[in-house]
Amino acid sequence: MKIDSTHLRLVGSCPDQVGIIARVATFIADHGGNITASNQYEDVRSKTFFMRYGIELLDTEMSASEFATTFRSLADELQMDWRLTDLAQKPRIVLFVSKFDHCLAYLLHRWKGGDLRFDIPCVISNHETLRELVEWYGIPFHHVPVPKESKAKQAAFEKTGELIEQAKPDTIVLARYMQIFPAWLCRKYRHNVINIHHSFLPSFIGAKPYHQADERGVKLIGATCHYVTENLDAGPIIEQDVVRVRHSDSIEDMMRQGKDVENTVLARGLRYHLEDRVLVHGNKTILFS
């Protein structure tokens, strides 16, 4: 299917009530729209309704912004938290990385091959290690060292914040960026900063999770793609997966096996996010297939 400005995606959540689906579907039809995909879910505990609709506007005179403006009155009546995505617009993704290259290389490969559809205005790193890889793809690379001293670290993240603003991203991806994102940046880009953590959260939060797993003698190790919040490695989870390890596996063996899981979990989690399949509900997520 050709993607143009007449193809939209509408996602939202609101208090559960009679007639939500009928009213939204009627609105879409009355404004020249055809529903091409439909997902809905009711959380019975919180009495919250969640929805995701693909829409093809048959009335090509109506733009995405006009559709959004017109829909707002119905959304207000339903007390709906919602967003509308114009599929003609590629999302902008800023990637953060430190020295580990596997997640970055995997995303760049999938992006270059067209498997993941987005633009990359820049990559930001606290080390120079991966500049050559990034620039080989023709992507601007910004090196912002992050010293340990408190005031210098604050200045570094202020510089980082300026670079992010200049890039105007829709989403920020921490592809093994080995720094704690400051709380003010977490708040500013809430539910739009995605991290890959190399453990099956909530197990082994923080640094060196493979070492923690080895000490505990676990039989499964994993990776977790989650939204970044002010609480370390505790944001809403988007995607997870595991791989089995043996008692004879060293930490290096675990790290080697874990890299493959990290790659696929981050790529899947990012795809779900970009396709508006993830709706945050408290500290959990609704994930539409």
pLDDT band at residue 2 under the 50/70/90 scheme: very low
Of the candidates 54, 61, 50, the residue with the CA atom closest to the CA atom of residue 12: 50
Q: Is pLDDT of 1 > 90? A: no
Catalytic residues: 233
Residue ranges per structural domain of the chain: 7-86, 93-287
Q: What is the mean pLDDT of the chain?
A: 94
Q: Is pLDDT of 5 > 80? A: no
pLDDT of residue 60: 67
Neighbours of 146 (CB within 10 A): 20
Residue pair 49/42 in contact by the 8 Å Cβ criterion:
yes
pLDDT band at residue 20 under the 50/70/90 scheme: very high
Mean of the pLDDT values across residues 153-178? 97
pLDDT of residue 63: 86
* pLDDT tens-digit map of 205-255: 988 999 999 999 999 999 999 999 999 999 999 999 999 999 999 999 999
CA distances from residue 161 to 104, 164, 169 in whole angstroms, order as listed: 20, 5, 11
- Annotation: CATH topology of 93-287: Rossmann fold (3.40.50)
pLDDT of residue 3: 44
pLDDT of residue 150: 86
Q: What is the CATH number of domain 7-86?
A: 3.30.70.260
List 281's β-bridge partners, or say none. 284
Mean of the pLDDT values across residues 3-32? 91
pLDDT band at residue 61 under the 50/70/90 scheme: confident
pLDDT of residue 6: 83
